[in-house]
Amino acid sequence: MILLVILLILAALVLFAVWPGARREELRAPFYGRNYAHRGYFGKDQRPPENSLPAFAAAARHGYGIELDVQFTSDRRLVVFHDDTLDRMTSGKGFVHDAAWADFSAMPLAGSEEHPPLFADMLRTVAEANPATPLIVEIKSRNEYSKTYLEELCRATLAELKVYPGPYCIESFDPRVVGIIRRQAPGVLRGQLSDSYRSYRHDGTKIIPAYALSHCFGNFLGRPDFIAWCPDKRNWAVRLAIAAGAMPVMWTALPEHDTQKLETDNDAVIFQWYEPKEQYK
């Protein structure tokens, strides 16, 4: 009897942790059944480079939605850049959050003539190309970021988005960020990004955090509207969240994937390096 009670309590706790937010169909509608250009519309040759103004303009002109990443420089300028560090996409070294905007903005992207843009400039570029372009904005986070820092980052992102004419939603791998967006902007669609347990462990995440993050145990903080999941098979917790009403989103679809199946199985697809239909549902 005691064992049964313990099992029931554990099951209730799991449900509480994983359960998504209530279905908000009106907010979902602009994002449903669309393909989203990952970091803009760019090729494997990085011409134009990912997360550059030409890549965003190209995605908007093609009629795609756009997925992008925002973070702070050391002087709290909100920039569009995916990596935590400068190393892969620029000639610089170190973390983006340690670089001043004046230095960061002067760094060529992937050896091109393009440079990392401010979020405000990205929004302006997309609005000029196609003001109806739906945006999925990922707020970058790291374990060492304090609650105050993340609140300022979320507040700055939301402030910039207020002038954008098209639909937008916000996502993050960090459940703390999704929770902050829930409090700061309850009327904005929000999503929990997640990766497989294997990937988290490969990146050095310890066993318990890797399991908790890959199984969306932080959903109780943000009660996300959608779960953005990787190409791996969905685990039981992700399937449960989707069955409970979360909108399934896929990242990142590549040419070698069964893209037709991904479109069938997901309400939105974030893609890279191929040219799908703008809308498929």
174-227 residue pLDDT tens: 999 999 999 999 999 999 999 999 999 999 999 999 999 999 999 999 999 999
94-110 pLDDT per residue, tens: 999 999 999 999 999 99
The answer to whether residue 116 is domain-embedded is: yes
**191 membership: H or E segment, kind and range:** strand 190-193
Angstrom distance (rounded) from CA 105 to CA 109: 10
SS3 call for 82:
coil
The answer to whether residue 164 is domain-embedded is: yes
Q: What percentage of residues in the chain have a pLDDT greater than 90?
A: 96
155-184 pLDDT per residue, tens: 999 999 999 999 999 999 999 999 999 999
The answer to whether residue 64 is domain-embedded is: yes
Nearest-CA neighbor of 150 among 67, 209, 72? 72
The answer to whether residue 22 is domain-embedded is: no
The answer to whether residue 100 is domain-embedded is: yes
Residues contacting residue 166 through CB under 8 Å, at least 6 positions apart: 30, 126, 127, 130, 131, 132, 133, 134, 135
CATH number for the domain including 248? Answer: 3.20.20.190
Which tokens hold the place of 242?
């989707």
Q: When comparing pLDDT for 229 and 7, which is higher?
A: 229
pTM value > 0.95:
yes
| One-letter amino acid for residue 84 of the chain | D
The answer to whether residue 20 is domain-embedded is: no
Contact 272, 252 (CB under 8 A): yes
CA quadruple 214, 218, 223, 224: dihedral positive or negative?
negative
The domain in which residue 85 lies consists of 36-271
The owner of tokens 């402030």 is 159
Task: Give the chain's domain count.
Answer: 1
Angstrom distance (rounded) from CA 49 to CA 58: 11
The owner of tokens 């997925």 is 67
What pLDDT, on a 0 to 100 scale, did the predictor assign at position 3?
Answer: 82
| One-letter amino acid for residue 204 of the chain | G
66-85 pLDDT per residue, tens: 999 999 999 999 999 999 99
The answer to whether residue 168 is domain-embedded is: yes
Which tokens hold the place of 246?
């979360």
